[in-house]
Amino acid sequence: MTLRSKFILTTILLYSAMGVLAWQLLTYNKWLFVASEVLILVSLIFTASLYASFVRPLNLIAAGVESIRDRDFSIKFMETGQKEVDQLIHVYNQMMDELREQRVTQTEKHFLLERLIEASPSGIILLDTYDRVAGVNPAAALLLQASGKEVVGKPLDELPSHWGASLGKLPKDEQRVIRPNGIETYRCRKIRFLDRGYHRYFILVEELTQELLEKERNAYEKLIRMMSHEINNSIGAVNSILHSFSYFSPQLNGDTRPDFDEALQVCITRNQNLAGFMANFANVVRIPPPVKQPTDLHQLLHSIHRLMLPSFERKQVQWEWDLAEQVPAVCMDVQQMEQVLINVVKNALEATDTGGWVKVRTSASPPQLDIEDNGKPISPEVQEKLFSPFFSTKTNGQGIGLTMIREILLHHHFPFSLQSGTDGLTTFHIAFTESTTVAALH
């Protein structure tokens, strides 16, 4: 029962009792009966006025509650002239003004936050309470190479490409630097925020590739120059002394001279190998800017095939072709790109067992090259270190082959990747983004 109903019921019962008592006065004293009736009438009018004053604040409260429930903060009440009611109206209007102002401020901040998230060069992945993707900004969609509709609702470890494995293991409230494909470098942070009383997370992905590549390049260039200077100076002095020793060889007797000559030659050869070893490192530092000219990609590939064919035949690995019929000429530095492709093919051959194959595939629009092999797949641990200077999985590897490939392709501004797919095949992919069509070439 509402408060209004209780008031009306109480009033009816009270005036019914007063009416019965007044009726009893009629037989006792008519004038007293008339006076009681007048008194009842006056009190009834006063009660009606009191009821109106009592109900009006209730109506205001009900209307105010309804507007708040509808989140309509534009409704305000006019003062009635009654002190108590006007105090209630004043408090209500003040509260609505504050709520409206807070709502406008919150909406503006929310709108600004949305714009900042959309314009942010860093990738932002919003998560729900179950650590599933709730939304991504354009930068994150570009990194994931998928639209928001394709990833929303998915767990982190089911994100496309290498991102699932990298972000799925990201600890909460921590940051890590990841290098999922060995080339691009990202700083990822999983940050907590409060949403309607519940803890949720978002992942901030910042690309550090160019900055770290520059620092890395400066570091190993300085190291190689210092090593080359010190070792070459030592090699020159030692070789001079060794050649001086050779003049004493005729003075030795026949029994000791062969051992002396052999030991001397071993030392000289070792010095020469050490000089060549340092020269390989120095070549990475001394890569000149590319001198580009339109080049027939297929002709370049066929020349590399002729060069590498004896190695393929010795290991009994099949070279397979899958060439597009027409590929436009590509602007490149022929000597540098030839060195790149020789190293890529050589690595594919070394990774392939006897009886395997290496496939060379091209596409025309846009010009792209894939060198694929069915050798041992690249593990995730190795994937992150592939293009790091001095890193090699080979027993006698120097770790400069892929570094040189990376430097040349970066100078050419050709996007590239090296990774193993779910089918176990390993592919080195090059996209010739700055190609110029000179003529349709077969």
Count other Cβ atoms within 10 Å, centred on residue 156. 22
Q: Are residues 194 and 319 in the same domain?
A: no
The percent of the chain in helix, strand and coil, each rounded to the nearest 5, is 55, 15, 25
Q: Is the pLDDT of residue 284 over 80?
A: no
- The predicted model gives 11-23 an average pLDDT of 77
Q: Are residues 303 and 413 in the same domain?
A: yes
pLDDT band at 402, cuts 50/70/90? confident
* Residue range(s) defining the domain that contains residue 245: 212-285
- The predicted model gives 72-82 an average pLDDT of 70
For 257-366, list the strands marked E by DSSP.
293-295, 318-322, 327-328, 330-332, 357-363
pLDDT band at 236, cuts 50/70/90? confident
pLDDT band at 223, cuts 50/70/90? low
Q: Is the pLDDT of residue 327 over 80?
A: yes
pLDDT score recorded for residue 213: 62
75 found inside a domain: no
pLDDT score recorded for residue 215: 65
156 found inside a domain: yes
Using the 3D structure, point to which of 227, 262, 285 is the last residue of a domain: 285
- Roughly what angle, to the nearest 10 degrees, separates helices 209-245 and 401-412? 130
Q: Are residues 184 and 238 in the same domain?
A: no
103 found inside a domain: no
Q: Are residues 318 and 180 in the same domain?
A: no
Q: Are residues 279 and 298 in the same domain?
A: no
Which CATH number goes with the domain that contains 138? Answer: 3.30.450.20
Least confident of 162-176, 347-361, 368-382: 162-176
Higher pLDDT, 276 or 173: 173
pLDDT band at 156, cuts 50/70/90? confident
pLDDT score recorded for residue 321: 94
300 found inside a domain: yes
Neighbour-count burial of 345, counting CB atoms closer than 10 A to its CB (0-12 exposed, 13-18 middle, 19+ buried): buried
Q: Tens digit of pLDDT for each residue in 174-201?
A: 777 777 666 677 888 888 887 767 778 8
- Give the percent of the chain with pLDDT over 90: 13
pLDDT score recorded for residue 439: 39
165 found inside a domain: yes
Q: Tens digit of pLDDT for each residue in 25-74?
A: 667 777 777 777 778 788 888 777 776 666 666 666 677 777 777 777 67
DSSP code for 82? -
Domain count, the chain: 4
Angstrom CA distances, 154 to 129, 135, 150, 236, stand at 13, 10, 8, 63
Q: Are residues 197 and 229 in the same domain?
A: no
Angle at 169 between CA 164 and CA 171, to 5 degrees: 135
- Which amino acid type is present at position 362? T
Whether 110 and 195 have beta carbons less than 8 Å apart is answered as: no
Q: Are residues 241 and 264 in the same domain?
A: yes
Using the 3D structure, point to which of 261, 285, 309 is the last residue of a domain: 285
Separation between Cα atoms, residue 290 and residue 71, nearest integer Å:
65
48 found inside a domain: yes
pTM: 0.51
Q: Are residues 173 and 249 in the same domain?
A: no
Q: Is the pLDDT of residue 266 over 60?
A: yes
Q: Tens digit of pLDDT for each residue in 115-136?
A: 888 888 888 888 888 888 888 8
Least confident of 149-158, 179-188, 345-354, 361-370: 179-188
14 found inside a domain: yes
Q: Are residues 132 and 191 in the same domain?
A: yes
Q: Are residues 242 and 309 in the same domain?
A: no
Question: Across all residues in the chain, what is the average pLDDT?
Answer: 78
pLDDT score recorded for residue 209: 65
What's CA 290's distance to the chain center, in Å? 31
Nearest alpha carbon to residue 53 among 91, 18, 7:
7
What count of residues does the chain have? 442
105 found inside a domain: no
Which CATH number goes with the domain that contains 401? Answer: 3.30.565.10
Q: Are residues 235 and 281 in the same domain?
A: yes
Q: Is the pLDDT of residue 441 over 50?
A: no
Separation between Cα atoms, residue 422 and residue 426, nearest integer Å:
9
